[in-house]
């Protein structure tokens, strides 16, 4: 009984985790041909996948369709659908995978199986069964998913303590150099904060959440510092050769 309870809790956790992640995405792109097939839309798998994704609540597009402007300008705003076939004796198995623009798996469903002997019927049934776990995730697009929440206020009465000496006032450092990056960087949410993607698309920086709103620990692969918001503008500041460098960023959340 304890083993069953543990497995059930793990399953619920996996579904909840998938839901929290896929809710960050409004769009899914479906290729004209899946890698497991030789022909475009073989057995109607691609158009059926698009239809099933729309049934879940996604806005799905074939990659050769005209895309909405926001998606056309930023392909990282969409997940990419893939199908993986599991070879089985006297059975057909399909798994639905959704990846982000960097190729990272954001969602992997449970295997959908079919024992139909005719290929068309077998793939159709297996694909429908592969969507059972995605339906269970209860997808709902959250347009505020990338918003960083302020830390909860501590309303408990402070404990009495002995008086301490006032901390010395330290003036903020003046940057040795200030530059302005015109490149648009798109913020893509992950478990610990965001990754900034350019229009290539290529990952250019990692942002880790802190206890302060609009303030992140930043790493661009060369320098480590902080990214913060000041007067409505985003800045990346770090030290180079013991001198403070400040770079103005154009970030789209």
Residue 191, by phi and psi: left (phi above 0), alpha (psi -120 to 50) or beta? alpha
Give the model's pLDDT for residue 5: 40
In this predicted structure, what is the pLDDT of residue 179?
67
Final residue belonging to a domain, choices 136, 164, 191 = 136
User: Which residues of the chain are under the pLDDT cut of 70?
Assistant: 1-20, 145-179, 181-182
Alpha carbon distance 188, 97 (integer Å): 19
Residues 18 and 132 in one domain: yes
Residue finishing a domain among 81, 115, 136: 136
d(CA 169, CA 184): 37
Tell me: do 37 and 100 sit in the same domain.
yes
Cβ atoms 49, 29 nearer than 8 A: no
In a domain, 6, yes or no: no
Residues whose CB is less than 8 angstroms from the CB of residue 97 and which lie 6 or more positions away in sequence, other chains included: 81, 82, 83, 84, 105, 107, 108, 109
**231: containing domain:** 177-252
Counted domains in the chain: 2
* Position 23 in a domain: yes
Chain centre distance of CA 244: 32
Q: Does 100 map to a domain?
A: yes
- Point out the domain boundary residue: 87, 109, 136: 136
Residue 124 and residue 60 share a domain = yes
* 126 shares its domain with 41: yes
């Amino acid at each position: 009984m304890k083993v069953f309870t543990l497995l059930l809790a793990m399953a619920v956790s996996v579904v909840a985790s998938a839901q929290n992640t896929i809710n960050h995405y409004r769009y899914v792109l479906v290729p004209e041909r899946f890698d497991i097939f030789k022909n475009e839309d073989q057995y109607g798998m691609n158009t059926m996948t698009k239809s099933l994704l729309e049934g879940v609540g996604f806005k799905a597009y074939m990659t050769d369709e005209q895309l909405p402007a926001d998606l056309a300008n930023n392909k990282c705003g969409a997940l990419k659908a893939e199908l993986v076939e599991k070879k089985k004796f006297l059975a057909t198995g399909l798994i639905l995978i959704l990846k982000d623009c960097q190729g990272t798996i954001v969602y992997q469903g449970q295997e959908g199986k079919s024992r139909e002997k005719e290929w068309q019927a077998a793939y159709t049934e297996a694909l429908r069964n592969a969507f059972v776990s995605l339906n269970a995730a209860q997808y709902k697009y959250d347009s505020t998913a990338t918003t960083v929440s302020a830390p909860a206020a501590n309303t408990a009465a402070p404990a009495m303590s002995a008086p301490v000496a006032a901390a010395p006032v330290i003036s903020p450092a003046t940057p040795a150099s200030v530059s302005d990056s015109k490149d648009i960087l798109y913020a893509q949410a992950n478990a610990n904060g965001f990754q900034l993607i350019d229009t290539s698309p290529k990952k250019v920086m990692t942002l880790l959440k802190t206890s302060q709103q609009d303030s992140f620990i930043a790493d661009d692969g060369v320098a480590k510092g902080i990214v913060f918001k000041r007067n409505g503008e985003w800045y990346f500041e770090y030290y180079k050769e013991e001198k403070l460098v400040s770079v103005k960023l154009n970030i789209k959340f």
